[in-house]
Structure 1
Amino acid sequence: MRTIGVREGEREPTLIEKPRPDPSDGEALVRTLRVGVDGTDHEVIAGGHGGTPAGDDHLVLGHEAVGQVVDSNGTALSEGDVVVPTVRRPPNGGNEYFEHGEADMAPEGSYHERGIVGAHGFMAEYFTSPAEDLVRIPASQADLGFLIEPISISEKAFELAETSRSSFTWEPESALVLGNGSLGLLTLAMLDRDDRYERLYCLGRRDRPDPTIDIMEDLGATYVDSRKTPVDRMPEVYEHVDFVYEATGYARHPFQSVQALAPNGVAALLGVPGPGEFEVDAGAFHSEMVLHNKAMVGSVNSGRRHFEAASRSLLELPRRFLDDLVTGVYDVSEFERAFDDGDTVIKTAVEFGTYEER
């Protein structure tokens, strides 16, 4: 079968022929429909993140997948079910995080992530997975189900942010999303569906005309050009905000976000920065956190319940928004196009097959 992977020492994705896998006990065989491409895939290809499975010289890419069960193999699934796989798997021997069903809370080094580190991904015509790691979704989501994994990341971040404010009545009215990539725009659209948020902002570094700015403004959000208005100047140019969602991985943003937050506000950090050193007014940072009851949470990966919530959220997102967000779906025969990252590219996917009604 055809797979798309990256070989050790190479910096370009390539087609790799592999045998079709056979499901082990407790696993189902899934025919892949579509697999999304995101920034993590580009980082893995560039060698800045992830790693190949032990004993292999390549990694099959892809962690944002949707597929259709072709062999339930005695599990509770049924042939024809449309499913989305979760990403994390236990390393050899497992650990307490997986035993407790909390793989998304495992620290770095205590998990494998399919298509990222230690385990082959889903960019293949078929893949196998334990049934408990496959989330059923409506057949109507067979075309866009690859968006459920990134949406689940935001579902978890929202959950953590809300939990951090659970000791009082938190009534947010404004939010700032840092990053105008596909994850940032999906998050913006999710916030737009939340009736509590009256004012939304999205920060980027783009010149008009630009398709991401168009999407922001179609959602009723205000575009914030970080070259003119850094995050810590938000209060003087616009306002203090109740919620900040950081999706860029820019190392200054967490410290600047504290200054942008309103009293009782919370910032959720999802971007992973590279090394960086700069001066910080530690006293001002500490005072803002303490005197104004601010909070900051870090979040990575997501659990099964977040995938289930993401499927429900996807049903609520406007079709026009989704059509603008997904700028290309490419057959596996032209998979290279899905890895283009020009200014007009927002979200792409590789198509391996189409849904078959049973």
Structure 2
Amino acid sequence: MKAITVIPGQAGSVRVEEVRGPEPGEGQVLVQGLLLGICGTDVEIVEGLEHGAPPPGRERLVIGHESLGRVLEAPAGSGLAEGDLVVGIVRRPDPVPCEPCAHEEWDFCRNGRFTERGIKERDGYGAQRWRIEPEYVVRLDSGVGDRGVLLEPASILAKAWEQTDRFLTRTSWRPRVALVTGAGPIGLLAALMGVQRGMEVHVLDVADGGPKPQLVADLGGVFHTGDVTGIGVEPDVVMECTGHGPLVFALPEVATPDAVICLTGISSGSDLGEAPLELINRELVLKNTVIFGTVNAARRHYQQAAADLAKADQDWLDRLITRRVPMEEFDAGLRKEPGDIKVVVDLTL
């Protein structure tokens, strides 16, 4: 079968090659790969940057963690059947395990010994067939179709909103206004979930071209460009999806008292710049502001995200997938083109 592989740490090493089929010991569920989403983590692995590690004893890693597939074989009692549309969970608990991993909270792993499909020490989903354990499979409503490839990024936002909701229980007031910074796939999914929670949603991005403004408008949200301090929005909740340091530092200033700011983005720049730390400290303390980071997702977040996608406008979700490339053009899919939001690889071509 064909798979997309890379030598982590070596730029220019990505290729599509013939590899052995998945062995039964890799999981009782055999899946035909349908689609593979491309994200910034994949770009960093292919460019030889900080992410990526092959399975022990191997040089090459099968890349890809945003999966969509169809069940070919499943064991009795697994709750899965041939033909089911499924997504594979990315992270696996560490072997110790630490306390969170022992309670299926591998997204909160405390010792860093977790593994991740397509990223860290486990082959990913960028193959025509893959195997997986039943406990790491999430079955999708058949009506979601190809849009199920959005489940993994949506799970990140399901967790972000879950954790935000927990922080908001510290007081009696309820949030009304949400600001999402960044209108990529993560930001737009964050906006979708904010609207589903009945909030007034604003989305800030660097450019007003392409499909993003209309996608936000069709959610019932308001699209903005410019400096966050000048758009006239005072959010109770912020979903920060860019990782841009100067923007992050400005958020406590514009947020309302008792606001919750969730950071989902990671900066890719090396310019640390200068931050007004004393002013930021003052804003956080005097306004009871919570600012926290979040990464990865547990099984329950995949399940929450699956429910969120199922109840969303399916035509709207379709418009997030702006380009499809065959396996042989995976490398081209890493390079964003004008109007791109989510690029996916068709593993059947």
Q: Normalising by structure 1, what TM-score?
A: 0.89
Aligned pairs for 1:197-212 within 5 A: 197-198=199-200, 200-206=201-207, 208-212=208-212
Q: Distance in 2 between matches of 1:22 and 1:167?
A: 49
| Greater CA drift, 254-263 or 23-32 | 23-32
Cα drift, residue 341 of structure 1: 0.8
- CA 1:16–1:177: 2 relative to 1, 3 Å: same
Cα drift, residue 352 of structure 1: 2.2
- CA 1:131–1:260: 2 relative to 1, 3 Å: same
2:339 equivalent among 336, 339, 344: 344
Counterpart for residue 255 of structure 1: 249
Counterpart for residue 314 of structure 1: 309
Q: Distance in 1 between matches of 2:243 and 2:45?
A: 16
Q: Distance in 2 between matches of 1:282 and 1:339?
A: 36
2:264 equivalent among 270, 283, 303: 270
**Contact 1:328–1:349 (CA<8 Å) still a contact in 2?**
yes
Counterpart for residue 3 of structure 2: 3
1:214 aligns with 2:214: yes
Counterpart code for 1:204 = D
Q: Distance in 2 between matches of 1:294 and 1:93?
A: 35
Cα drift, residue 139 of structure 1: 1.9
Counterpart for residue 99 of structure 1: 102
Cα drift, residue 169 of structure 1: 2.4
**Contact 2:65–2:117 (CA<8 Å) still a contact in 1?**
yes
Gaps of at least 5 residues in structure 1 are: none
1:127 equivalent among 125, 130, 134: 130
Gaps of at least 5 residues in structure 2 are: none
CA RMSD of aligned residues (A): 2.2
Counterpart for residue 324 of structure 1: 319
**Contact 1:26–1:131 (CA<8 Å) still a contact in 2?**
yes
- CA 1:156–1:334: 2 relative to 1, 3 Å: same
Secondary structure of the structure 2 residue equivalent to 1:144 = helix
Q: How many residues align?
A: 345
Cα drift, residue 90 of structure 1: 3.4
1:59 aligns with 2:61: yes
Cα drift, residue 334 of structure 1: 4.2
Q: Deviations over 1:179-198 (max 9, x none)?
A: 12111112112222221x12
Counterpart for residue 238 of structure 1: 232
Q: Normalising by structure 2, what TM-score?
A: 0.91
Secondary structure of the structure 2 residue equivalent to 1:252 = helix
Cα drift, residue 26 of structure 1: 6.0
Q: Distance in 1 between matches of 2:304 and 2:134?
A: 18
Counterpart for residue 182 of structure 1: 185
Q: Deviations over 1:189-215 (max 9, x none)?
A: 2222221x12x2222222x43222232
**Contact 2:65–2:125 (CA<8 Å) still a contact in 1?**
yes
Cα drift, residue 314 of structure 1: 0.5
1:138 aligns with 2:141: yes
| Greater CA drift, 65-74 or 128-137 | 65-74
Counterpart for residue 42 of structure 1: 43
Cα drift, residue 93 of structure 1: 5.1
- CA 1:157–1:344: 2 relative to 1, 3 Å: same
Q: Distance in 1 between matches of 2:7 and 2:331?
A: 15
Cα drift, residue 281 of structure 1: 2.8
Q: Deviations over 1:273-299 (max 9, x none)?
A: 244433333332222222222111211
**Contact 1:180–1:202 (CA<8 Å) still a contact in 2?**
yes
Counterpart for residue 294 of structure 1: 289
Counterpart code for 1:64 = E
Cα drift, residue 24 of structure 1: 2.2
**Contact 2:144–2:314 (CA<8 Å) still a contact in 1?**
no
Q: Distance in 2 between matches of 1:350 and 1:277?
A: 34
Cα drift, residue 110 of structure 1: 2.1
Q: Deviations over 1:6-33 (max 9, x none)?
A: 2342336310211111222863111112
